[in-house]
Amino acid sequence: MQTIDEALEKLQASPFRAKFRLSERERAYIGEKGLDTIREHARGFIETRLAPAELPNDGRQTPMRGHPAFLAQHACACCCRKCLYKWYKIPPGIQLNRRQQEKIVNLLMAWIQRQL
Protein backbone atom coordinates (compact mmCIF):
# COMPACT_ATOMS: atom_id res chain seq x y z
CA MET A 1 0.00 0.00 0.00
CA GLN A 2 1.41 3.38 -0.94
CA THR A 3 1.62 6.41 1.30
CA ILE A 4 -0.01 9.74 0.53
CA ASP A 5 3.39 11.18 -0.40
CA GLU A 6 4.06 8.28 -2.76
CA ALA A 7 0.63 8.64 -4.37
CA LEU A 8 1.05 12.39 -4.87
CA GLU A 9 4.51 11.88 -6.35
CA LYS A 10 3.18 9.26 -8.77
CA LEU A 11 0.30 11.55 -9.77
CA GLN A 12 2.73 14.37 -10.54
CA ALA A 13 4.36 12.12 -13.14
CA SER A 14 1.11 12.16 -15.12
CA PRO A 15 0.91 15.23 -17.39
CA PHE A 16 -2.89 15.26 -17.09
CA ARG A 17 -2.97 14.99 -13.28
CA ALA A 18 -0.05 17.39 -12.78
CA LYS A 19 -1.75 20.23 -14.65
CA PHE A 20 -4.36 20.83 -11.95
CA ARG A 21 -3.78 23.84 -9.68
CA LEU A 22 -5.97 25.76 -7.26
CA SER A 23 -6.97 29.15 -8.57
CA GLU A 24 -6.89 32.32 -6.48
CA ARG A 25 -10.67 32.11 -6.21
CA GLU A 26 -10.45 28.57 -4.80
CA ARG A 27 -7.69 29.61 -2.40
CA ALA A 28 -9.86 32.48 -1.19
CA TYR A 29 -12.78 30.10 -0.72
CA ILE A 30 -10.59 27.82 1.40
CA GLY A 31 -9.40 30.83 3.39
CA GLU A 32 -12.98 31.91 4.00
CA LYS A 33 -14.37 28.48 4.90
CA GLY A 34 -11.34 26.87 6.55
CA LEU A 35 -9.77 23.47 5.95
CA ASP A 36 -12.10 21.66 8.37
CA THR A 37 -15.13 22.77 6.34
CA ILE A 38 -13.43 21.83 3.07
CA ARG A 39 -12.69 18.38 4.54
CA GLU A 40 -16.36 17.96 5.46
CA HIS A 41 -17.42 18.99 1.96
CA ALA A 42 -14.92 16.53 0.44
CA ARG A 43 -16.19 13.78 2.74
CA GLY A 44 -19.75 14.44 1.57
CA PHE A 45 -18.76 14.49 -2.10
CA ILE A 46 -16.93 11.16 -1.79
CA GLU A 47 -19.79 9.57 0.14
CA THR A 48 -22.46 10.60 -2.34
CA ARG A 49 -20.63 10.79 -5.67
CA LEU A 50 -17.94 8.10 -5.47
CA ALA A 51 -18.68 5.57 -2.73
CA PRO A 52 -21.89 3.93 -4.05
CA ALA A 53 -21.44 0.59 -5.79
CA GLU A 54 -23.48 1.68 -8.79
CA LEU A 55 -23.11 5.13 -10.30
CA PRO A 56 -25.28 5.79 -13.35
CA ASN A 57 -23.10 8.72 -14.43
CA ASP A 58 -19.68 7.26 -13.61
CA GLY A 59 -17.00 9.28 -15.34
CA ARG A 60 -19.14 12.42 -15.33
CA GLN A 61 -20.07 12.86 -11.67
CA THR A 62 -17.24 15.18 -10.68
CA PRO A 63 -17.27 18.73 -12.06
CA MET A 64 -13.97 20.23 -13.19
CA ARG A 65 -14.61 23.41 -11.18
CA GLY A 66 -16.86 24.88 -8.53
CA HIS A 67 -15.14 23.58 -5.39
CA PRO A 68 -11.51 22.91 -4.39
CA ALA A 69 -12.39 19.28 -3.58
CA PHE A 70 -13.59 18.70 -7.15
CA LEU A 71 -10.27 19.90 -8.52
CA ALA A 72 -8.43 17.75 -5.97
CA GLN A 73 -10.46 14.72 -7.05
CA HIS A 74 -9.27 15.15 -10.63
CA ALA A 75 -5.68 15.88 -9.59
CA CYS A 76 -5.66 12.76 -7.39
CA ALA A 77 -7.49 10.43 -9.80
CA CYS A 78 -10.40 10.09 -7.38
CA CYS A 79 -12.96 11.59 -9.73
CA CYS A 80 -14.69 8.39 -10.84
CA ARG A 81 -14.62 4.68 -10.25
CA LYS A 82 -12.72 4.04 -13.47
CA CYS A 83 -9.88 6.26 -12.27
CA LEU A 84 -9.96 4.70 -8.81
CA TYR A 85 -9.47 1.31 -10.42
CA LYS A 86 -6.75 2.46 -12.82
CA TRP A 87 -4.70 4.27 -10.17
CA TYR A 88 -5.52 2.45 -6.92
CA LYS A 89 -6.94 -0.93 -8.02
CA ILE A 90 -10.24 -0.30 -6.23
CA PRO A 91 -12.71 -2.21 -8.38
CA PRO A 92 -15.97 -0.69 -9.56
CA GLY A 93 -19.25 -2.23 -8.56
CA ILE A 94 -18.57 -2.38 -4.82
CA GLN A 95 -19.56 0.11 -2.12
CA LEU A 96 -16.53 1.96 -0.74
CA ASN A 97 -16.26 1.40 3.00
CA ARG A 98 -15.65 4.21 5.51
CA ARG A 99 -11.94 3.46 5.71
CA GLN A 100 -11.53 3.69 1.93
CA GLN A 101 -13.55 6.88 1.84
CA GLU A 102 -11.46 8.46 4.59
CA LYS A 103 -8.22 7.52 2.83
CA ILE A 104 -9.47 9.26 -0.30
CA VAL A 105 -10.46 12.36 1.69
CA ASN A 106 -7.02 12.39 3.36
CA LEU A 107 -5.35 12.24 -0.06
CA LEU A 108 -7.51 15.08 -1.39
CA MET A 109 -6.77 17.23 1.65
CA ALA A 110 -3.03 16.57 1.38
CA TRP A 111 -3.13 17.72 -2.25
CA ILE A 112 -5.11 20.84 -1.28
CA GLN A 113 -2.71 21.68 1.54
CA ARG A 114 0.27 21.34 -0.81
CA GLN A 115 -1.44 23.74 -3.20
CA LEU A 116 -1.79 26.36 -0.47
The separation between CA 91 and the C-alpha centre of its own chain, rounded to angstroms, equals 16
Domain ranges, residue 34: 4-115
Dist CA 2 CA 36 (whole Å) = 25
Q: Say what the pTM is.
A: 0.93
Q: What is the pLDDT of residues 8-52, one digit of tens each?
A: 999 999 999 999 999 999 999 999 999 999 999 999 999 999 999
> How crowded is residue 6: how many other Cβ atoms within 10 Å of its Cβ?
10
Domains of the chain: total: 1
* Residue-level pLDDT at 1: 67
